[in-house]
């Protein structure tokens, strides 16, 4: 019997065996400027929010909810990097930089032909892109 991996590798950051789901069900980003964050994350996710209020903006994408919370922003409130799959990492980076993202790690091969990049929003929340 093959053991279940307990420490996922960087090219497969989420285990897909056992009881661990293949994707998170909710990711919430603390943001200082809700309007700017809404513009950026609408571009990142490619969809309009299903909840759009002054205290929370929420998106549903592929079974995952992504939320923007203006009350959770501030020093020390950083979180994990959540990666989104894309067919063309460099092109997606350019598109997101045009709507306010800042490149923290430019597109590069992390092994096995897997290309990743890490960007930040105006509040320093990190978001990753991974070649599909």
Q: What is the pLDDT of residues 46-66, one digit of tens each?
A: 999 999 999 889 999 988 889
Q: Which of 40-54, 89-103, 110-124 has the lowest mean pLDDT?
A: 110-124
What does the domain layout of the chain look like in residue ranges? 26-131
Is this structure's pTM higher than 0.95?
Answer: no
> What would the pLDDT profile of 80-98 be if each residue is shown by its tens digit?
678 888 889 999 999 999 9
If DSSP codes are grouped into helix, strand and coil, which group holds residue 110? coil
26-131 to CATH, choices 3.40.50.2300, 3.30.1300.10, 3.40.50.920, 3.10.180.10: 3.10.180.10
What are the structure tokens assigned to 32, written together? 């200082």
């Amino acid at each position: 019997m093959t053991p279940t991996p307990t420490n996922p590798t960087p090219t497969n950051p989420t285990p897909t065996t056992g009881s661990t789901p293949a994707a998170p069900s909710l990711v919430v980003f603390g943001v200082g400027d809700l309007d700017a964050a809404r513009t950026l994350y609408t571009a990142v996710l490619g969809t309009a929010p299903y909840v759009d209020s002054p205290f929370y903006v929420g998106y549903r994408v592929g079974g995952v909810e992504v939320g923007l919370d203006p009350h959770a922003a501030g020093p020390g409130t950083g979180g994990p990097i959540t990666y989104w799959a894309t067919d063309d990492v460099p092109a997606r980076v350019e598109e997101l930089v045009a709507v306010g993202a800042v490149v923290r790690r430019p597109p590069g091969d992390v092994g096995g032909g897997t290309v990743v990049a890490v960007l930040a929003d105006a509040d320093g929340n990190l978001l990753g892109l991974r070649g599909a």
